[in-house]
A and B are shown apart, each in its own frame.
Chain A
Amino acid sequence: MTVSTELELQSFVLLRLGERRFAVSATQIAELVAPSRVFRFPHRTSKLEGVILRRGRIVPVCEVSEILLGKRLTSRRFYLIAVRNYGAQREWVAVPVTGECELINAEMMPAAESDAPHVAGWLSHDGDVIEVLNLDTLTPGPEQALLKSAAPQSEEGRP
């Protein structure tokens, strides 16, 4: 049995951030919405811009471009609203994207141990090798806060 026959076709949403494309499992996507007003208020969680109001729900906007591209992107075309797991709880998070999104079917290669924690796997599409994102580790949550507080020089530890 070859590797390819062991893999299954799955649906992914391809999103664009700057010049790069990333994928997220389509099962995690709630909707794609036009940018709306971001409400900002004081907080201490990095990578969190504020919240948007969507269908009466308050959805946090998670800034992921700095981790994925190494620079912050200010332009945005849509918010990809995705489901993020927090243990047994699930909540919506909004991820800003800078271009059109696309739904594709592809086979995902699982991530290797050496891959970054936010990489769920890899897929090949249109001659590109694309990272499949694990939003549960890419976006902020209590587990990251615990890791940070355990680190000796955490952001919160600074005066």
Chain B
Amino acid sequence: MTDADPDFDRGLARELAQLPRPRAPHTLLPRVLAATTQRPAATGWFTWPRQWQAVSIAALVAAVVGMAWLLLTPPAPVSGVAASAGQTATTLRVLWDVIIEPAVTYVAIVAMVLTLVCAAAWAALDVALGGASHR
């Protein structure tokens, strides 16, 4: 390495500092805007502002603590709601066993057959029309 010339180095530093800043090409802005329209603005939790993240964590913790408290020491109104929910579930189960379950297999078979018939008809029509459906 040869010795540096302080005068030249200072002069060069000054010239470099005075260089006009290269301007972005006119195509950059439209390119960026076009690219951003193709992807929605990120709304994921990691992109939230820090304050929102902190508030959301606090809300989550409060919800978990509240649920745990309700499960461990349910107050009287909550117990009542749980009991009526149990009765409703029992009624729904009886309805399912007696009315819906025996018929559901036949309904599924009919739906499948109809779907296959429609697909076959569509394919036959497509062949008959020389692939017109793709144009």
A binds B: no
